[in-house]
Structure 1
Amino acid sequence: MNYSMSLAEDWRFRQKGEGEWLQAKVPGSVHTDLRANRKIEDPFYGKNELAMQWIDKEDWEYETIFDLSEELFQQKNLEILFEGLDTYADVYLNGQRILSADNMFRTWKADIKPYAKQKENHLLVSFRSPIKEDLPKLEKLGYDLPASNDHSEDGGLGEKRLSIFSRKAPYHYGWDWGPRFVTSGIWKPVQIQGWTDIRITDLYIRQDHVTTQLARLSAEIEVEADQDWTGKVRIATEELSLEKEVSIQKGNHTIELALELENPKLWWCRGLGEANLYQFLVSFSKAGKAIAEKKVRTGLRTIRLVREKDEAGKSFYFELNGVPVFAKGANHIPNDSFLTDISYERYRHEIASAAESNMNMLRVWGGGIYEYDMFYELCDEYGIMVWQDFMFACSMYPGDQAFLDNVKREAEENVKRLRNNPSLALWCGNNEMDSAWAHYIENRGWGWKEAHTPEIREKIWADYEEVFHHILPKAVTEHSPAVDYWPSSPMSELTGDEHQHATYTSTSGDMHYWDVWHGAKPLEDYKKVVGRFMSEYGFQSFPELKTVQTYAEETELELESPVMLHHQKNGRGNQLIKEYMDQYYQEPKDFPAFLYMSHILQADAIKTAIEAHRAQKPYCMGTLYWQMNDCWPVASWSSMDYYGRWKALQYTAKNSYQDVMVILDQVDEELNLMVVSDLLQDSEGRLHLTLYDFSGEKLWTYEQGIQVKSNTVTMIDKLEVKDIVQNHKANNVVLHASLETNEQIIDQKVHYFAKMKEIDLEIPNISVEQVEGHDYAFVLTTNVLAKNIWLDAEKEGIFSDNYFDLIPGIPKKITFSARDNGQSAFVLEKPGAITVQSMVDFVK
């Protein structure tokens, strides 16, 4: 039989060789344990980050004493398994070193049978400072490797950027949205495992051929036997069971069982169908007694990255179960600077928010971690496809043999860990490294290669190619062949010449577009630059006031205050927000108003981008804005802040990612009417347009019966602006569009013919009436146009819509869902007191 016990209790830690032992939590980290023992202040408050940079220069040690049960101790094989050690660690059991770790992204195990006792085993984990460990590597290398987001200066290291030497989460060293906390610790569970005869080490349900009629599967069962063994192996799921006799020789083996399921329930992403899942159980038995068993859950589906030549260049889209899918979503970063502070509820809140926002994909960006299992399991359940980067970002890495061997094992292990998740849609080698280095074009890229001699350049590029063009794709091909590999994001094509590197004029590959924001280009430029798949673009905002107040005093509530600048890791970020705001909006009356206005600005910017991308379907087949979430309370590109509070952008994403959506696109003096559908069925409907003045008087109407074509964009009409506005003032009218199918309104949009800065707003009288019998539902009305109404609830949660415009005569029904910590992510519930404000309340 197989037995195991968790080592989660009675740990303590200290700075190595010094001071008292303090209580520790495992899984955990030095920083979180110091915080729990009140040895450091809140790391996120004020500028406390800078006072905590000493921690990563020290060595730390953790210890525990544990007993083994009689059953476990008597097993023929006894092993310790660390699911994650961060990062350089030596492990001792009863005074004997049993393993040395040097990769946060790998599991570490050791045979402890020769050293274990039944009672009072002493386990010591000694962590070496990642800074002291890696400084000699930089000196030995003899030249700097670029790592532009490594905040070495905050860590007291000047220009010595060390993040590239350790297989550790790159963002721990700082990023342009995150602090520098270079952690150490036992960041995943520890187990003692015992077994006799045989054990299952892995189970992979390989999907050889999947259609709606038949799924041909192969169960690859990796087993280890400590002696020759004969018995039965059985695999079962809800719809089938298969059993056979097997004889296994001592050692490691793979057993393959062929399975067939008729009329399988396929796994679909959100919007296209149910995210159906199957659980498979494999068991080995002898004489009717179970010896070993393992469960996995997967979904049956085919998914591929389609890159085929067309009249424009080369396509880049995901095909799920034979259906081309327009990817709608965002980039995901780790949910916390301290990974062990991430709970299941926080993950669920994020994934449920993505689904609630009509997303079907998240990109796990390469500067964080291969996420915990529960992240992918939630994506499986909610129908959210995952674009998965390997953990390399915005840097060039060394290529010594020890580093390459480490990366190879890391890649194999994580590909195997995640390959049963049906949500996994793509493996990508790295973030922005191909385009940043731009090896084949002089004076292109981020200026990295120009700092090196031709010989060093070639060495760095050869090391790059070894990892991203050989080691990583081989790991994917060998261990998860049903999922495609893409070497770098963004990239045009793997050509080995100047056509490889992505540009803003690429007609193949994926694109990161940052001229709006980093390049300070106007928001309208989002319409001018549309690639085949927009995998990154973004615009910043601050979090809301209650979040800012968790890290700043009242006296610090000013754009250029030291604390506000510290919680803005993008050099010119605060100033850029102000410059864009000055360009598009009226001046906010105070700093809290500036926070609100930054939400509106960010939402309007990304709405412009999303609509431009969706309008270009099928030329463009994906839009993933940067970024979904935060790892600490900060001004950033996120659509929901560190505490999971939805910004205006999250609500805008929900509306702009609807499966059927109206687009009102004004180009000069012409208004294009389009309907985008991501659904797989045609439908009929009616499009109504009404021009109102701000008091609600109807000035012009338009109605058109339309055919909404499936999975495409339908151009409905082109209208002259002068025919709509006529002789009315452009800054005092609003166009309202309503799309109805089957007598139901499925989308509504508003359009203005003047810049927001020029809109002439009056103070509205907004009425909020509770729907009888439903204390979570309300109807809002107004006497004059109310722009960007912000509803703020006493309870934490989300409204069905927020930051919306309200026109007199068009009531708006709203529901509130509390953020639930129990079985559901969002639960319809009474919000408590509601605060209602609109744009006019925030301008001077």
Structure 2
Amino acid sequence: MRTRELHEGWTVRAAGGPAPAGIADAEVPAVVPGVVHQALLDAGLIPDPYLDDNEAKLAWIGLVDWSYRTRLVPSEAEFAAERLELAFDGLDTVASITLDGELLAEVANQHRRYRLDVTGRIRPGGSELVVAFRSPVRYANAQSLALGVRPRPYPMPYDAIRKSACSFGWDWGIATYTSGIWRAVRLEAWSTARLAEVRVHAAPEGDGGVVTASVEVDRASDTGLELELEAAGASARVGLPAGERSAEVRVELPSVERWWPVGYGSQPLYDVAVRLYGPHGPLDGTSRRVGFRTLRWDTAPDAAGHPFQLIVNDRPVWVKGANWIPDDALPSRIDRARYERRLRQAVAANLNLVRVWGGGIYESDDFYELCDELGLLSWQDFLFACAAYPEEEPLRSEVAAEAHDNVVRLAHHASLALFTGNNENLWGFEDWDWKRRLEGRSWGAYYYHELFPAVIAELAPHVPYTPGSPFSPDDGRHPNDESSGSTHLWEQWNRRDWASYREHTPRFVAEFGWQGPPVWSTLTRALSDDPLTPESPGMIGHQKAIEGNQKLSVGLVPHYRVPDDMDAWHWAMQLNQANAVSAALDHFRSHAPHTSGAIVWQLNDCWPVTSWAAIDGDEREKPLFFALANAFAPRVVTVQPREGGLVAVLGNDADEEWVGELVFARRDFGGDELAAATVPVSVAARAAVTVPIPVEVAMARDAASELLTAELGSVRGWWFFTEPRDSALDEALLEVEATAVDDGYEVTVTAATLARDVTLLVDKLDPAATIDRGLVTLLPGESVVFRVAGLARVFNAAAFADPRVLRSGNQLVAR
């Protein structure tokens, strides 16, 4: 097999539609892999779509047909091969592919790969290869009419085209309407035979393991072949007689190490090679990296309903997760280094799972390989989200092809914990008035309940599957019944205060979250509003949620007053976002093992926007990031309200027993102890213990000026008897010292008064600056050391003490 990437020498031009003057007649160098936005940006023909109101100014791009072209000149060796094929790993989305004007294929699916036979069709001097894309907006609209309009939450009919749904815009996402050769394209020359499909599975057996490779071959000649599998130094071969196209080969290994999720053990990976031989030697080969582990989800009914408990290597895992969206709205710009930065941030936030949400993309191989290496479990939705989808042709066959393609591509990964049929479509069918509006039309049930389970059973029976998220394993229950399976909780953000999370005790939470603006330097880079206010034009353009700013304010006022100053408003909304998710996670974790995990919406952003993300579109960590790290820490103490009063819940997500004296103290805001108690405790490994708090400690005399702490060793939980806005919280008196170290500064903050949620917003000193922690509450006399890195120049303590940089909850209460 000879493989040559075809990434150079492409141009792109508008081929029809409302392209403006200066672009309509331009043919510019094209980025491949890439989309047309990148070519136009590189040519200086459009502004950055992420800035100000440029999204609206560039909406015409999705109404234009775009034509990519290059000159294809094979080498002598490529011409001499028995087969010459074009391999496209991704085309976005509806395109005609021609060679010297002769049609090779018409395609209409961003989520699958294509292979086109060009044997004998390329001229000796070279041929012109053209990939002509149709406007995705006009195509989707036409298909929606042809297939029948179906319910969805947004105007554009993303359900009528097999394209990333969020490219048409979402409640956190910019509408880009991309077109382009968005993944790799190659010219592949081969003779005799090639590996057409390789499925590798690693399974532990006792102290050892078995690696199996199931292979399909394409043949150019009918001759005997040999297939070799090599894994961890062991190998095996099987023959493929003339005419045979399928084979399976396995290798048994006497000793292997188990792969574990991060926090539960190491992540040993083993290299696997699959090679194809003909009568005269090697023909083709490929490689995989695998890990040995068992994985299942326990949904067996119990007295409380149906759990949704992840079990890896026969050990229950409490899922600490976040939902993942495409990390850039122009996803071809995401390289391996960027994936690694983001996923390492996930590990730093103490996550052990990322859920790839169904309105985005099947991520690149780099994403899943990094999850394997880092021990981050991956949950992969099939790409259906929040809408009724037609089951008729041409979509029916396209969905089958993309499911086959992506199950084969992803199923060998040790990190892959679950395939899920869709996001919220089972729920939507029940609750969102779909039945009446569909009037008998198909809505996707065939995909979720028949097609996908059949594809997985055939190609990857070792990978668990659920028809949707949320989903109840009990067919008689509502799909979002919190007593059974997975649950999404959105009433808090949409209609209720976040304190009402405590009214729910779900078995597993797959989505919940709270909005907040991006980091200040991200916001001010993206917007040139003067003045910048919560309702200035750029802010509104970068707030995609329905009544988003109103919900931010309504969600803040039970806890803090809405500030008039923009800088303070920004901090208040970021802090409330962090507090909302912290309270929810502390509550959910306090109900382990009844609640077996929580997946926050969302980890990342695809552009600079007010959203639910913990990491904004410029890759910067919001205060929410530190809320996740704190709530998902291996060991936590939280104070929780129960019917009988306040309790302390100790969560020990470590392999060692946690033993010591649990110290309760009720104090006034000046730090003076008013009541105390000590209880000896022992928390088993990977377990939780609930300890009632003595009434003399748990009952405040003056709720507005008292607090409660529960401490085991260096781990402390807090309880405030009133909301900050109703409390006697005064100005935070903080002393700051800054010491230069090799990679930045150690900034010591010492509190002379009670200080809630102390955080350094270091990006205001330098947009490249980072910090190791946030949201630290200090009693009078206590200190915390922040480590700051990435500063390009020297700063003194006064710079870190600037009240716009050194933030606390006190600033939103004290007058």
User: For 1:35-434, what aligned pairs fall within 5 Å after superposition?
Assistant: 35-141=41-147, 143-149=148-154, 152=155, 161-207=156-202, 209-211=203-205, 213-230=207-224, 232-238=226-232, 240-244=233-237, 246-250=239-243, 253-285=245-277, 289-434=281-426
Q: Which deviates further from its counterpart, 44-53 or 598-607?
A: 44-53
Q: Which deviates further from its counterpart, 730-739 or 562-571?
A: 730-739
TM-superposition CA deviations, 1:810-838 (whole Å, max 9, x none): 32233345599xxxxxxxx9999744333
Q: Displacement, 1:118?
A: 4.9
SS of match in other structure, 1:583? coil
TM-superposition CA deviations, 1:140-190 (whole Å, max 9, x none): 34x4201113xx3xxxxxxxx421111000111111111222111110011
Q: Displacement, 1:234?
A: 3.1
Partner amino acid for 2:806?
V
Q: Displacement, 1:216?
A: 2.7
For residue 492 of structure 1, what is the aligned residue in structure 2?
472
Q: Displacement, 1:295?
A: 0.7
Task: Describe the shift of the 1:842–1:144 C-alpha distance in structure 2 as closer, same or farther (beyond 3 A).
Answer: same
For residue 21 of structure 2, what is the aligned residue in structure 1?
none
Q: Give, in whole Å, the separation in 1 of the partners of 2:230 and 2:2.
A: 22
Provide the aligned C-alpha RMSD in A. 2.5
Q: Displacement, 1:246?
A: 2.1
Contact residue 517 and residue 573 of structure 2 kept, 8 A: yes
SS of match in other structure, 1:715? strand
TM-superposition CA deviations, 1:788-827 (whole Å, max 9, x none): 222133363542311222223332233345599xxxxxxx
Contact residue 507 and residue 594 of structure 2 kept, 8 A: yes
Q: Give, in whole Å, the separation in 2 of the partners of 1:548 and 1:417.
A: 38
Q: Displacement, 1:24?
A: 1.2
The structure 1 residue matched to 2:584, chosen from 609, 616, 635, is 609
Contact residue 225 and residue 242 of structure 2 kept, 8 A: no
For residue 723 of structure 1, what is the aligned residue in structure 2?
697
User: For 1:481-630, what aligned pairs fall within 5 Å after superposition?
Assistant: 481-493=461-473, 495=475, 499-503=476-480, 505-519=481-495, 521-630=496-605
Partner amino acid for 1:618?
P
Q: Give, in whole Å, the separation in 2 of the partners of 1:247 and 1:838.
A: 69
TM-superposition CA deviations, 1:409-462 (whole Å, max 9, x none): 110111111011111111111111111111xxxxxx11232235xxx33x325x
Q: Give, in whole Å, the separation in 2 of the partners of 1:809 and 1:707.
A: 30
Q: Give, in whole Å, the separation in 2 of the partners of 1:407 and 1:272.
A: 36
Does residue 807 of structure 2 align to residue 813 of structure 1? no
User: For 1:670-709, what aligned pairs fall within 5 Å after superposition?
Assistant: 670-709=645-684
TM-superposition CA deviations, 1:197-250 (whole Å, max 9, x none): 23223332224x525512233222333332244465432233x32243624324
SS of match in other structure, 2:526? coil
Q: Displacement, 1:724?
A: 5.2
Q: Give, in whole Å, the separation in 2 of the partners of 1:333 and 1:422.
A: 21
Partner amino acid for 2:509?
M
Q: Give, in whole Å, the separation in 1 of the partners of 2:240 and 2:31.
A: 44
Task: Describe the shift of the 1:285–1:776 C-alpha distance in structure 2 as closer, same or farther (beyond 3 A).
Answer: farther
Contact residue 685 and residue 708 of structure 1 kept, 8 A: no
Q: Give, in whole Å, the separation in 1 of the partners of 2:723 and 2:216.
A: 63
Partner amino acid for 1:133?
Y
Q: Displacement, 1:769?
A: 4.0
Q: Displacement, 1:125?
A: 0.8
For residue 748 of structure 1, what is the aligned residue in structure 2?
716
Q: Which deviates further from its counterpart, 322-331 or 751-760?
A: 751-760
Q: Displacement, 1:719?
A: 2.5
Q: Displacement, 1:111?
A: 0.7
Q: Displacement, 1:334?
A: 0.9
Task: Describe the shift of the 1:366–1:819 C-alpha distance in structure 2 as closer, same or farther (beyond 3 A).
Answer: farther
Q: Displacement, 1:725?
A: 6.3
TM-superposition CA deviations, 1:350-372 (whole Å, max 9, x none): 21111111111111110011111
Does residue 12 of structure 2 align to residue 13 of structure 1? yes
Q: Give, in whole Å, the separation in 2 of the partners of 1:527 and 1:692.
A: 25
Q: Give, in whole Å, the separation in 1 of the partners of 2:652 and 2:448.
A: 36
Task: Describe the shift of the 1:190–1:627 C-alpha distance in structure 2 as closer, same or farther (beyond 3 A).
Answer: same
For residue 441 of structure 1, what is the aligned residue in structure 2?
none
Partner amino acid for 2:151?
P
Q: Give, in whole Å, the separation in 2 of the partners of 1:607 and 1:764.
A: 25
Could you tell me the TM-score, scaled by structure 2's length? 0.93
Q: Displacement, 1:674?
A: 1.3
Partner amino acid for 1:98?
L
Contact residue 198 and residue 291 of structure 1 kept, 8 A: yes
SS of match in other structure, 2:530? helix
SS of match in other structure, 1:314? coil
Task: Describe the shift of the 1:734–1:221 C-alpha distance in structure 2 as closer, same or farther (beyond 3 A).
Answer: same
Contact residue 556 and residue 564 of structure 1 kept, 8 A: no
SS of match in other structure, 1:296? strand
The structure 1 residue matched to 2:731, chosen from 740, 762, 784, is 762
Task: Describe the shift of the 1:39–1:763 C-alpha distance in structure 2 as closer, same or farther (beyond 3 A).
Answer: same
TM-superposition CA deviations, 1:513-537 (whole Å, max 9, x none): 1110112x12221011121111011
For residue 732 of structure 1, what is the aligned residue in structure 2?
705
Contact residue 732 and residue 752 of structure 2 kept, 8 A: no
Unaligned runs of 5+ in 1: 153-160, 439-444, 821-828
Q: Displacement, 1:632?
A: 1.2
Does residue 807 of structure 2 align to residue 837 of structure 1? yes
Does residue 636 of structure 2 align to residue 654 of structure 1? no
Contact residue 816 and residue 831 of structure 1 kept, 8 A: no
SS of match in other structure, 1:577? helix
TM-superposition CA deviations, 1:11-51 (whole Å, max 9, x none): 11100165131121111112222222222222122222112
Partner amino acid for 2:737?
V
Task: Describe the shift of the 1:529–1:471 C-alpha distance in structure 2 as closer, same or farther (beyond 3 A).
Answer: same
Unaligned runs of 5+ in 2: 17-23
Partner amino acid for 1:531?
P
For residue 19 of structure 2, what is the aligned residue in structure 1?
none
Q: Give, in whole Å, the separation in 2 of the partners of 1:559 and 1:85.
A: 39
Q: Displacement, 1:710?
A: 2.4
Task: Describe the shift of the 1:256–1:776 C-alpha distance in structure 2 as closer, same or farther (beyond 3 A).
Answer: farther
For residue 826 of structure 1, what is the aligned residue in structure 2?
none
Q: Give, in whole Å, the separation in 2 of the partners of 1:277 and 1:818.
A: 33
Could you tell me the TM-score, scaled by structure 1's length? 0.90
Identity level (%): 29
Partner amino acid for 1:789?
V
Q: Give, in whole Å, the separation in 2 of the partners of 1:45 and 1:804.
A: 33
SS of match in other structure, 1:132? helix
For residue 460 of structure 2, what is the aligned residue in structure 1?
480
Partner amino acid for 2:378?
V
Task: Describe the shift of the 1:376–1:831 C-alpha distance in structure 2 as closer, same or farther (beyond 3 A).
Answer: farther
Q: Give, in whole Å, the separation in 2 of the partners of 1:366 and 1:589.
A: 38
Q: Displacement, 1:193?
A: 0.6
Partner amino acid for 2:505?
V
